[in-house]
Structure formats: structure tokens, C-alpha cells
Amino acid sequence: MAESDSFDRRKFIKACVGAGAAVAADPSLMAQPAGELVPAERVRLVDADEKTLLPEALAVGQSYVFHYPYVTTPCFLIDLGLPTEPGAELETSDGRPYRWSGGVGPGRSIVAFSAICAHRMSYPTRNVSFIDYRHKPMNTEAPGNDWWSRGQVIYCCSEGSVYDPSDGARVLAGPAPQPLAAVRLEYDDDEKALYATGVYGGDMLERFLTEFGFQVALAHKRDDIRHPARNVTTVWPMSEYSRTGAC
Ligand code: FES
């Protein structure tokens, strides 16, 4: 991630101009129908040393963050510890259907979703995150079938939206009008490598960058907030990516 000490409003204006140039260079990222898969760069997931991230390096139940399909849009990477099935039929808030591709890896248990809440777009920053994965039940004293008791949910404590990462991030509870945008992953068994190759429900990302572009540009200290992730993207444990979990 580029760092600059002299980032200011003048640079932000330049960022807006740069964003237009990036989109012109890669129009597929702007042509985002709400719902269908939007192919993006095939990007290999790597660790902080830029080595291929092996599936076994992921701790079951922990959340990780990487940026995709833009260098500024955060996504969760999670090993649920249980196989998932492809084919969950979902739809966006304006009724466009899509089909989730399911988990990948040796146990088909590794999934990835945008970390931007579909309600009011709360997202993890370096200082704090109001949205995260909860592997353990939040209510361990009164077992039941509700999401509090079952765990394995993505929870946004801004207003209480709950998503099911084993079912394409379908909304289980709260005000979110649609699932989290989903990242299509591929697993190359020969390389033991994970790749991100596209996004479903991706128009949320454009709305996010339009609404939060100024904050994103400041946080990332870079001019080109819509620059596509290319070749590799670094995966960080959530505990390192964001200093504080708010919920
Ligand atoms: S922003 Fe996540 S529930 Fe409102």
C-alpha cells in the first residue's frame, strides 16, 4: 500500500481524476450489473511476505482481509471449517438474481465476501471495524436455532445486520437489503494457491467508492482509489488489519 506523508485535499482531487483514468483503462470494473458475476483480474492471494497463501495457513474461524477487485475495497477471507455447497440463489436489493459459486480449497470451506455492509456500508478501517466474522455463538447460554446460538455468521454491529457466509452471505437478520457482495474464488490444486477472479452483486462497490471515496483516499494515501487489484493481493489477519473490533 503506497504511503505518503503529504497527502491532502489537493491530492484527493487528483485521485478523482486518476479514478476516471483507471476506469477508462479497465471498463469492466465500471460495467457492473447488479447481481451477475463481474469478471475481474485473476489475482493470487499472498501473505505479508508476498508468498502464496496456502489454505492451511488460514485458521478456521478467524477472519482475514484482502483488497479486491480494487486496491481499496476490503473483503473477508474465511475458512469456515465445513464444506459449502455452490448454487445458493440470491438477489440484489433491486431484484436481480445471481448464483453463488460456493467455497473452495481442499475442504470447499474457504469463502470470500466484500467486507462492506450492504446496509449503510460500514467497513473495516485500520482503526476500527464494526463488521466481522463470528465463528462462535454469541449466546452460549441458551442454545437454539437462531443466529445468536449457531455462530458462523458475519455480523455488523452498526445496526445489527447478520449474514450467512456458508450460504453466499444471505441476510439472516437486520436491515441489510441484500447479501454482501461475494468474491468468486478459485483454488489451484497444483500450485496450492487461491485466486480471486470476480465479484457478484458488485455495484455496491461503486456506490461505496462514490460515497466514501474521500475517506478511502485518505486512509490508503493513494491517488487512484479505483485502481484494480492486479497479480497479487495481500491477505491480513483481521486482528492486524484493524486495531479494534467494535462489536
Ligand atoms: S451498516 Fe451494517 S447494519 Fe447498518
Q: Tell me which of 161, 163, 247 to substitute to probe ligand 1's pocket, judged by most ligand atoms within 8 Å of the beta carbon.
A: 161
Question: Which cell numbers in the block locate residue 201?
Answer: 452483486
User: Measured in angstroms, how far is the CA atom of residue 179 from the centroid of ligand 1?
Assistant: 12
Contacts of residue 53, Cβ cutoff 8 Å, sequence gap at least 6: 45, 46, 47, 193, 194, 235
**2: its cell numbers:** 503506497
Q: Please check whether residue 148 lies inside any domain of the structure.
A: no
Nearest by Cα to 114 from 84, 155, 76 = 76
Q: Is 194 within the bounds of a domain?
A: yes
Task: Choose one of 93, 120, 163, 171 to mutate for the ligand 1 pocket test, by most ligand atoms within 8 angstroms of C-beta.
Answer: 120
∠ CA(231), CA(235), CA(237), 5° rounding?
175
Cα 30 to ligand 1 centre (Å): 24
Considering its fold, how many domains does the chain have in total? 1
pTM metric for this prediction: 0.85
Contacts of 20 (CB under 8 A, 6+ apart): none
User: What pLDDT sits at residue 138?
Assistant: 77
What cell does 45 get?
A: 492471494
Residue 129 CB less than 6 A away from ligand 1: no
Q: Let me know if residue 158 belongs to a domain.
A: no
Q: Which three cell numbers stand for residue 226?
A: 479505483
Residue with cell 490444486: 189
CA angle in degrees (0–180, nearest 5) for 94-98-103? 135
Q: Domain for residue 130, yes or no?
A: no
Task: Give tens-digit pLDDT for 78-107.
Answer: 999 999 998 899 999 988 899 999 999 999
What is the pLDDT, as a whole number, of residue 148? 77
Confirm whether 150 is domain-assigned: no
- Residue 141 amino acid letter: E
129 located within any domain: no
Each residue's pLDDT tens digit in the chain (247 positions)? Answer: 343 333 344 443 343 334 334 433 444 444 444 557 777 899 999 999 999 999 999 999 999 999 999 999 999 999 999 999 988 999 999 888 999 999 999 999 999 999 999 999 999 999 989 999 999 987 666 666 677 788 899 999 999 999 999 999 999 999 999 999 999 999 999 999 999 999 987 678 989 999 999 999 999 999 899 999 999 999 999 999 998 766 7
Distance CA 132, CA 115 (A): 8
d(C-alpha 191, C-alpha 25), whole Å: 30
Whether residue 211 is contained in a domain is answered as yes
Q: Which residue range(s) make up the domain with 62?
A: 9-118+181-245
Confidence (pLDDT) at 25? 41
Among the atoms of ligand 1, which is closest to the Cα of residue 156? Answer: 2
Q: How far is CA 92 from each of CA 2, 42, 109, 198, 231, rounded to the nearest angstrom?
A: 33, 24, 24, 16, 29
Q: Does residue 166 have its Cβ closer than 6 Å to ligand 1? A: no
For residue 188, report the distance from its CA to the centre of ligand 1, in Å: 34
Q: Which string of b and e fits 32-56 if b means at least 16 CB within 10 Å? A: bebbbbbebbebbbbeeeeeebebe
74: in domain: yes
| Ligand 1, atom nearest to 160 Cα | 3
